[in-house]
Amino acid sequence: MKITKNKFVKYILTGIGLVVLYLAIYTPIIRMPLSWSEELMNIKTSQLYIPFSYNKSYMTNESCGRNCSILRMHFMQRNQSLVITISDEVSWEDDPMWRREYQLSGTHYYYREEQNHQFLYWKDHLREMQIDYQGINALSKEELIKIASSIHLPYSKK
């Protein structure tokens, strides 16, 4: 079978297209519109509560294995940054982030501060969630919980 120049170019372009598609869906290299999160994990971004007006927003998605992905939604303003992470990858129960001293009393949320970052962690429907906030003024824990409460996930993986 002889490969012509046209077939060779077609094969090369198809290969490049598949590589770009893989990078777009399974690595955090490419920034995608937030609206894509509805298709990837059935999350309605229009219902999210973000406590500041942002001028830049995007999402990234990366693979953590078969049927496993990590979705990050980024919201940024000049001196503020909020990242909501939703992951199918569940950490070990003895991971330091799940220490009892970090748990907010009467809730299923875990909170900690580290180097001008505020973190709120929780598990919901086989997924692990995290809010990472960094800004000039810290958010209250109640405000972080309000953000977390605005995230609605389907009960089963897509």
Domain presence at residue 154:
no
**Can you spell out the DSSP letters for 31-77?**
-B-TTHHHHHH---GGG---SS--SEEEEEEEEEETTEEEEEEEEEE
- The verdict on 65 and 103 lying in the same domain is yes
Judge if 99 and 113 occupy the same domain.
yes
What predicted TM-score, i.e. pTM, was given to this entire model?
Answer: 0.77
% pLDDT > 70, the chain = 86
> Taking Cα atoms as reference points, which of 49, 1, 7, 57 lies closest to residue 32?
57
Structural domains of the chain, count? 2
Beginning with the edge strand found earlier in the chain, give each strand of the sheet holding 68-77 in spatial order.
56-65, 68-77, 80-87, 127-135, 117-124, 110-114
Domain membership flag for residue 15: yes
Q: Quickly state the pLDDT bin for 27 (edges 50, 70, 90).
A: low
Distance CA 121, CA 129 (A): 6
d(CA 3, CA 129): 50
Q: What is the pLDDT of residues 36-94, one digit of tens each?
A: 777 766 677 778 899 999 999 998 888 777 777 788 999 999 999 999 998 877 766 66
